[in-house]
C-alpha cells in the first residue's frame, strides 16, 4: 500500500520520500493528484511542489 510523505505530500512505495528524503510517511492520506507540469499546475503551487509525480492532497 502506498504511503504519502507528510512533508511534501509525495506518494511513495518505499520507506523514505524520493523527493525530500523524509521518513515521515503516512498511510492516512486522501485525494490523489498527478502533477505533470508543476510550473502550470495550481495544485503544484498549492502544495509547493516542483517535481512531476503523484501527490496526496491531504496527509494526516
Ligand atoms: Zn517528501
Percent of the chain with pLDDT strictly greater than 90: 97
Is CATH 2.20.28.90 correct for 3-59?
yes
- Cα 9 to ligand 1 centroid, rounded to whole Å: 6
pLDDT score, position 1: 77
Residue 29 pLDDT > 90: yes
1-22 pLDDT tens trace: 799 999 999 999 999 999 999 9
Q: What is the pTM of this model?
A: 0.89
CA of 44 to the centre of ligand 1 (A): 14
Q: Which residues contact 50 (CB under 8 A, 6 or more apart)?
A: 38, 44
Q: Where are the domains of the chain?
A: 3-59
Distance, CA 53 to ligand 1 centroid (Å)? 12
Amino acid at each position: 500500500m502506498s504511503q504519502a510523505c507528510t512533508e511534501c505530500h509525495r506518494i511513495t512505495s518505499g520507506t523514505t520520500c524520493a523527493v525530500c528524503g523524509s521518513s515521515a510517511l503516512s498511510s492516512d492520506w486522501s485525494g490523489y493528484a498527478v502533477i505533470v507540469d508543476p510550473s502550470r499546475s495550481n495544485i503544484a503551487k498549492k502544495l509547493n511542489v516542483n517535481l512531476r509525480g503523484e501527490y496526496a492532497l491531504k496527509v494526516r
